[in-house]
Amino acid sequence: MTEDFAGFFTTYTLLGISLANWALALCAAALSYLLARTAIGFVFRKVQARASAGNRHLSFMASEVLSATSTTLLLLASILVGIGLLDLPERWLGRVSSLWFVVAALQIGLWANRALALGLHRYFSRHSTNGAFQTSALATLSLWGVKVLLWTVILLAMLSNLGVNITAFVASLGVGGIAVALAVQNILGDVFASLSIAVDKPFEVGDFIVVGALAGTVEHVGLKTTRIRSLGGEQIVMANADMIGSTIQNYKRLQERRIVFEFRLTYECSPDQIRQVTQQVEAIIRNEELARFDRCHFRSFGESALEFETVYIVLDASYNVYMDVQQRINLQIMEAVADLDASFAFPSRTVHVASLPDAAPVPSRLQHSTRAEHA
């Protein structure tokens, strides 16, 4: 009975291969899959243990890379192990070797893709201004470019291994790339403008900027557009190329405000009052904690007033703080001018008449008539 059963497996064939050979290949495939899963799980647990004990960053990256292992590709590799034990014709053995390369290249690509993403994530997190990773245009472009390059190399390697002439393929890709670039040149202009913004950093997310007649806080810098939240509350979407081509005022990087203001007094002021006014203004500004005095001068003789110019520095970048300081200074200057019995000037003009024509004599008839009416 046993000999008949063994003879059945050795003599009966399926697709020209004995059942015993099929059973051996199936067992080898199953054993290979179990061993591979066990080995990967063992290494994964070891890496996690090292992450909790010491070198957290490298161990974390290793565990994340291992987690990118594809179960499907692992199963295909195990099947290829079993197929390798079959008594296949020579032409099929070459195809199995090519499939081995495809499976290995895809799995290596998945590991490399995860490693590159983690590496770029860490790099941009360490070099960002606030210490936290943000999906900036530079980060998005870098990650996208690295992934495209990686999978292009893997695809070309697989095609070359399968016997495809990649020289003509690469040439056709170059011609097609030029045609696509010409078709989407406006989009590419915005993309490269976003790269320029990311590298040169004229502004970042959270900065208050003024671009021409537009003013607001930057909310997002994308590959094609930048989104700004205006003071009125609406969102402004502006092309990156237009942003780069305009003059940008970044008030977030303002450390101090230089303020220049003027006031005018009447010509009735004496020289002594003028000296006291400039001294009083200097004292007022020096008493402000958030202001640094620069100068105060009797600048010029205006058409209808004596003109004074004052310069000081506000030590806080906030516009509201500046307005509070200016209001206090203005009120104290009004009090100082009143104490000095001086007056602020307002636009006026004095007309000096050199002479007036003599009055015409009244006719005698009119005089008599007027007397008669009064009588």
Question: Do 243 and 127 belong together in one domain?
Answer: no
Residues 196 and 154 in one domain: no
Do residue 217 and residue 324 come from a single domain?
Answer: no
Specify the DSSP class assigned to residue 344.
B
Inform me whether the pLDDT recorded for 136 exceeds 60: no
102, part of any domain: yes
Return the half-sphere exposure (C-beta side, CA atoms, 13 A cut-off) of residue 72: 3
In a domain, 356, yes or no: no
The amino acid present at 22, given as its one-letter code, is W
Range of the domain at 325: 257-339
Neighbouring CB atoms inside 10 A of 190's CB total: 22
What's the CA gap between 337 and 76, in Å, rounded? 92
Q: Which of 250, 271, 303 is the last residue of a domain?
A: 250
Q: Are residues 25 and 97 in the same domain?
A: yes
Give dist(CA 292, CA 312) in Å, integer. Answer: 6
Asked if 322 contacts 311 with a C-beta cutoff of 8 angstroms, the reply is no
* 185-200 vs 166-183: helix crossing angle, rounded to 10: 90
CATH classification at residue 235: 2.30.30.60
**How large is the average pLDDT for residues 23-38?**
82
**199, 115: one domain:** no
At 1 the pLDDT is: 47
205 is a domain residue: yes
Q: What is the mean pLDDT of the chain?
A: 78
pLDDT score at 284: 95
- 352 membership: H or E segment, kind and range: none
Q: What is the edge-to-edge ordering of all strands in the sheet holding 306-314?
A: 257-265, 306-314, 291-301
Q: Is residue 5 part of a domain?
A: no
User: pLDDT tens across 32-88, in order?
Assistant: 888 888 888 788 777 777 766 655 667 777 777 777 788 888 888 888 777 766 666
Residue type, 202: P
Are residues 334 and 263 part of one domain? yes
Do 68 and 103 lie in a common domain? Answer: yes
In 3D space, the residue among 244, 249, 255, 258 whose CA is nearest the CA of residue 213 turns out to be 249
pLDDT attached to residue 197:
77
pLDDT of 132 above 50: no
Residue 346 lies in a domain: no
Could you count the other beta carbons within 10 Å of the beta carbon of residue 256? 12
Whether 363 is covered by a domain: the verdict is no
- Of 123-137, 171-185, 241-255, least confident by mean pLDDT is 123-137
Among 19-33, 123-137, 249-263, the range scoring the smallest mean pLDDT is: 123-137
Pair (82, 212) in one structural domain: no
What's the pTM? 0.48
Cβ pair 110, 70 in contact under 8 A: yes
* Residue 348 domain-assigned (yes or no): no
- Other beta carbons within 10 angstroms of residue 368's beta carbon come to 10
Q: Is residue 32 domain-shared with residue 154, that is, in the same domain? A: yes
92-129 in b/e form (b: 16+ CB < 10 A) is eeeeeeebbebbebbbebbbbbbebbbebeeebeeeee
Cα gap 305→280, rounded to integer Å: 19
Q: How many domains does the chain have?
A: 3
CB-CB contact of 239 with 225 (8 Å): yes
Torsion sign (Cα): 62, 65, 71, 75 = negative
Query: The domain spanning residue 278 has which CATH number?
Result: 3.30.70.100
In a domain, 60, yes or no: yes
Longest dimension (CA), the chain: 169
Percent of the chain with pLDDT over 90: 22
Summarize pLDDT for 302-343 with one digit per residue, the tens.
888 999 999 999 998 888 899 999 999 999 999 999 999 999
Half-sphere exposure of 215 (CA within 13 A, CB side): 8
Backbone angles phi and psi of 263, in degrees to 5 = -150, 160
Residues 323 and 196 in one domain: no
Q: Are residues 124 and 23 in the same domain?
A: yes
77 in the same domain as 200: no
